[in-house]
Amino acid sequence: MTKKRVLITGGAGFLGSHLCDRFLAERCHVIAMDNLITGSLENIEHLFHREDFEFYHHDVSKFVHVSGDLDYILHFASPASPIDYLKIPIQTLKVGSLGTHNLLGLAKAKGARMLIASTSEVYGDPLVHPQTEEYWGNVNPVGPRGVYDEAKRFQEAMTMAYHTYHGLETRIVRIFNTFGPRMRLDDGRVLPAFIGQALRGEDLTAFGDGSQTRSFCYVDDLIEGIYRLLMSDCVDPVNIGNPDEITINQFAEEIIKLTGSQSKIIYKPLPKDDPMQRQPNITKAKEVLGWEPKYSRNEGLKPTLEYFQNKVK
């Protein structure tokens, strides 16, 4: 039987590299494409010896060519953390718009099924809690986070248009905060930031009064949800995340305890448009994909902490 051929953009990033591992384990031929703007070859160097793995160093906001057949395209290329997308706002808008358009064109030419990585940020600072897929969001298009949120909203609209107008097979996953090995310690997201500060014995920086909430999903759970969504016939967006919600203050205490650090929590002003609440409603994922998270935050934090401890060393 010929192997399914899968293109994973952002393949050298945190989530993209885990997807490469998963699709190789499913006996697919994997082509990872990445311009390494926020990713690292370290995340995929364990795959370079394999004949069923290829890496293309390429910016997907420019024309994308891949020779041979493609069965699936998973578009995960995009700066994903506030620090990254505030530093490179134009590239963020381009990869969500031009990059998505290029890949939809490629999917159409190859007859491939395309899955895009959208985000809970399409809900903005939500006025509905927890967030269901039917909620349209509360986004400031001209605020600093607009470059990411609106790129992702445009990406969803463009993908749906290709489905409706060209009959392309498309899938949209709305990813809520996910964590695990291969995150960058310095990417500005709250989980690696807290772990890095605790491991270095520094105080943990919370923004605002720390009462805002987040819900963290372990990466293995997310990858399973994405795989199931790709294989399903669900065209509408699906939330994948862990509904176990925690305040930033509680989370900081948890990290301090887990690392055995003497750190304290210090407070800085809340960044503009920072969402106050984040919790996925995953009813649809349960019903349509038979998916729900298996790992508790604590179970996921163990391998993650080990990974970061080695990095800090």
Ligand X SMILES: NC(=O)c1ccc[n+]([C@@H]2O[C@H](COP(=O)([O-])OP(=O)(O)OC[C@H]3O[C@@H](n4cnc5c(N)ncnc54)[C@H](O)[C@@H]3O)[C@@H](O)[C@H]2O)c1
CA distance 4 to 72: 8
What is the torsion angle, in degrees rounded to the nearest 10, for the CA atoms of residue 95, residue 176, residue 305 and residue 20? -50
As a whole number of angstroms, the distance between CA 301 and CA 212 comes to 20
| 36 near ligand X, judged by CB under 6 A | yes
Number of residues that bind ligand X (CB under 6 A): 28
Which range of residues in 59-67, 130-138, 194-202, 205-213 is near ligand X by CB under 6 A?
59-67
Q: Are 301 and 181 in contact (CB under 8 A)?
A: no
Q: Does 31 bind ligand X (CB under 6 A)?
A: no
Out of 148, 162, 218, 227, which one is annotated catalytic? 148
| Amino acid, res. 262 | Q
Beta pairing partners, 213: 247
Of 36 and 266, the one with the shorter C-beta distance to ligand X is 36
> Residue 5 — φ and ψ, nearest 5°?
-110, 125
User: What tokens were used for 291?
Assistant: 């998916």
Binds ligand X (CB under 6 A): choice among 5, 7, 22, 61: 61
- Residue 14 or 291 having the CB closest to ligand X: 14
* Interacting residue with ligand X among 6, 16, 197, 223 (CB under 6 A): 16
- Give the separation between CA 224 and CA 243, rounded to whole angstroms: 16
When the beta carbons of 177 and 279 are compared against ligand X, the nearer one is: 177
| 177 contacts ligand X (rule: CB under 6 A) | yes
Footprint on residues 74-93 left by ligand X (CB under 6 A): 76-80
Residue 123 designated active-site: no
- Where does the chain show beta strands of DSSP type E? 5-9, 29-34, 53-57, 72-75, 113-119, 170-175, 178-179, 204-207, 213-215, 217-218, 238-240, 245-247, 265-268
Chain residues 114-133 in contact with ligand X, contact rule CB under 6 A:
117, 119
Complex with ligand X: residue 180 or 210, whichever CB lies closer = 180
Count CB neighbours of 46 within 10 A. Answer: 12
Contact string (CB under 6 A) for ligand X, positions 189-208, x = contact: --------------------
What is the CB neighbour count within 10 angstroms for residue 233?
A: 7
By CB under 6 A, is residue 99 in contact with ligand X?
yes
Binder among 31, 38, 106, 107 for ligand X (CB under 6 A): 38
Specify the residue, 261 or 279, whose C-beta has the smaller distance to ligand X. 279
Using DSSP's 3-state secondary structure scheme, residue 153 falls into helix
Q: Which residues bind ligand X (CB under 6 A)?
A: 9-10, 12-16, 34-39, 59-61, 76-80, 95, 99, 117, 119, 175, 177-178
Return the active site residues. Answer: 148
